Amino acid sequence: MMRTRPLKVALLGCGVVGSEVARIMTAHADDLTARIGAPAELAGIAVRRPDRVRAGIPRELITTDATALVKRGDIDVVVEVIGGIEPARTLITTAFQHGASVVSANKALLAEDGVTLHAAAEQHGADLYFEAAVAGAIPLVRPLRESLVGDKVNRVLGIVNGTTNFILDRMDTGGTGYSEALDEAMALGYAEADPTADVEGFDAAAKAAILAGIAFHTRVRLDDVHREGITEVTAGDMASARRMGRTVKLLAICERAEDGRSVTARVHPAMIPLDHPLASVREAYNAVFVEAEAAGRLMFYGPGAGGAPTASAVLGDLVAVCRNKLNGARGPGESAYSRLAVSPMGEVVTRYHVNLDVADKPGVLAQVAAVFNEHGVSIETVHQQVRDGGEASLVVVTHRASDAALTSTVDALRRLDTVRGVAGIMRVEGE
């Protein structure tokens, strides 16, 4: 039996994503009604600048008073696509207090203070869904929270930021430097006027914190995520990677330690082999590997950002939350019972590509090798290239070693007379 009272939806934010959510809710109203079991009706749209509202958005729904909208009391679901910490956090908690469930695309807020939001949802018996906060249209939050809930996830590794992938892809295929590639990304709308959140890895780190939390059923705070951006990746690094049959990608990596008692989460540029599936993820696309004990190795690929793809994820959540409302049910809440420790970066074990400028003298390689050996870092390959002026470059790729051991090795290398400088250090993943 079709319920006649429509579910009322309040939309907070009407930018690139919000306007697309509003458009699809109108254009596909009949399908959404059939799939939910009742109509979902836009009851109000809160914006900061009402004069900027896009074509096709009913003017009478527009308000600048978001607080009053979420306090109305007749709102079933609040869709938050404003982004940022405040006023989003206060609006979401107010929405829960007034009986609404929430669909949010806000990765920064969920990474910063997911605990508060989840607790508020729990307290008021409401849903908090956030598929759109990680990897745009790619179903990743739901597969981790629901499909793999009977399995043990050991690793999540992927490209979760489209802007930086676009820039690195351009550097790789065009041989350009970082600044030039960034300019191109800005010109094409792939990077914002202030690209800091993307290029410094803040956006990817927020997603890593969210993914690690749901994958390992624990809490991982944004501060727990080791973060390095791509601003120091050079055309030289990219060329060096190419010569070794690799390319450079900004990766988010969440791992369970081998003893199972702790986890790590990190975002940094890394070299991966050209035949690794992530190497062929081009432009602004995202792709994420999930490794689980029983399932094995899964990959999810798709558009990681953009108005329509993000709106697709928001609408999937909206339908689910509306169904729950109709059934008087709740979807999965926060699952953080594991309470695992988050280990510092020094304990992360991986491989390294170390590029040294050295004197072109007999015995230098032996000296360098001895330093690696003294610090317990085993060398896999060394490539030596003599340059003009009595100098040479030495590219060392190591076996697996802890970040702490590698750091001490590099400190000791810097103290060698024969080492003129450390031209670059990059982690090597996916082999």
C-alpha of 171 from chain center: 21
Strand runs labelled E in 160-261? 226-227, 246-256
CA distances from 152 to 293, 331, 335 (A): 5, 20, 13
The gap from C-alpha 177 to its chain's centroid, in whole angstroms, comes to: 24
- Rounded to 5°, the CA angle 77-79-85 comes to 125
CA dist., res. 429 & res. 431, Å (int): 6
368 interacts with its own copies by CB under 8 A: no
Position 142 contacts its own copies (CB under 8 A)? yes
CB of 338 to its own copies, least distance (A): 8
Query: d(Cα 372, Cα 403) in Å, to the nearest integer?
Result: 13
Q: Radius of gyration over alpha carbons of the chain, in Å?
A: 24
Q: Which of residues 18-37 bind its own copies (CB under 8 A)?
A: 20, 24, 28, 31-32, 34-35
Told to check if 277 binds its own copies by CB under 8 A, we report yes
Based on the shown chain and the rule CB under 8 A, indicate whether residue 324 belongs to the binding site for its own copies.
yes
Identified binder of its own copies from the candidate list 18, 39, 316, 430, rule CB under 8 A: 316
329 contacts its own copies (rule: CB under 8 A): yes
Smallest distance, its own copies to C-beta of residue 107, A:
17
Q: Is 358 in the site for its own copies (CB under 8 A)?
A: no
Report if residue 188 touches its own copies, rule: CB under 8 A: no
Cβ distance to its own copies smaller for residue 313 or 364: 313
When asked if residue 146 is in the footprint of its own copies (CB under 8 A), the reply is yes
Size of the site for its own copies (CB under 8 A): 58
Rounded to the nearest 5°, which phi and psi values hold at 207?
A: -65, -40
Q: Say whether residue 76 binds its own copies (CB under 8 A).
A: no
Per CB under 8 A, the list member of 51, 258, 296, 389 interacting with its own copies is: 296
Q: Give dist(CA 197, CA 208) in Å, integer.
A: 14
**Does 148 engage in binding with its own copies (CB under 8 A)?**
yes
Tell whether residue 198 is a contact of its own copies (CB under 8 A): no
Residue among 61 and 79 whose Cβ is closer to its own copies = 79
Of 154, 371, 409, the closest CA to residue 256 belongs to 154
- The piece of 71-79, 111-119, 317-325, 364-372 that touches its own copies (CB under 8 A) is 317-325
Residue 155 and residue 256 in contact, taking contact as beta carbons nearer than 8 Å: yes
Question: Which tokens is 322 given?
Answer: 């509306």
Does position 300 interact with its own copies (CB under 8 A)? The reply is yes
Any catalytic annotation for residue 207?
yes
Identify residues 152-181 at the interface with its own copies (CB under 8 A).
152
Does residue 131 touch its own copies according to CB under 8 A?
Answer: yes
In this structure, the chain runs to a length of 431
CB of 388 to its own copies, least distance (A): 40
Active-site choice (207, 249, 325, 361): 207
Which residue in 97, 147, 234, 367 binds its own copies (CB under 8 A)? 147
Cα 129 from Cα 254, distance rounded (Å): 21
150 binds its own copies (CB under 8 A): yes
C-beta of 3 vs 297, nearer to its own copies: 297
- Token pair for residue 323? 């169904």
Q: Closer to its own copies by CB, 137 or 222: give it.
A: 137
DSSP string, 28-51: THHHHHHHHTS-EEEEEEE-S-GG
Query: Toward its own copies, which CB reaches closer, 24 or 88?
Result: 24
Residue 132 DSSP class: G
DSSP 272-340: EETTSGGGG--TTEEEEEEEETTTEEEEEEEE-SSHHHHHHHHHHHHHHHHHHHHHT--------TT--
Contact between 335 and its own copies (CB under 8 A)? yes
| Catalytic annotation, residues | 207
Note the residues at the interface with its own copies (CB under 8 A). Answer: 20, 24, 28, 31-32, 34-35, 131, 137-139, 142-143, 146-152, 217, 277, 280, 292-303, 306, 308-309, 311-320, 323-324, 327-330, 332, 335, 337-338
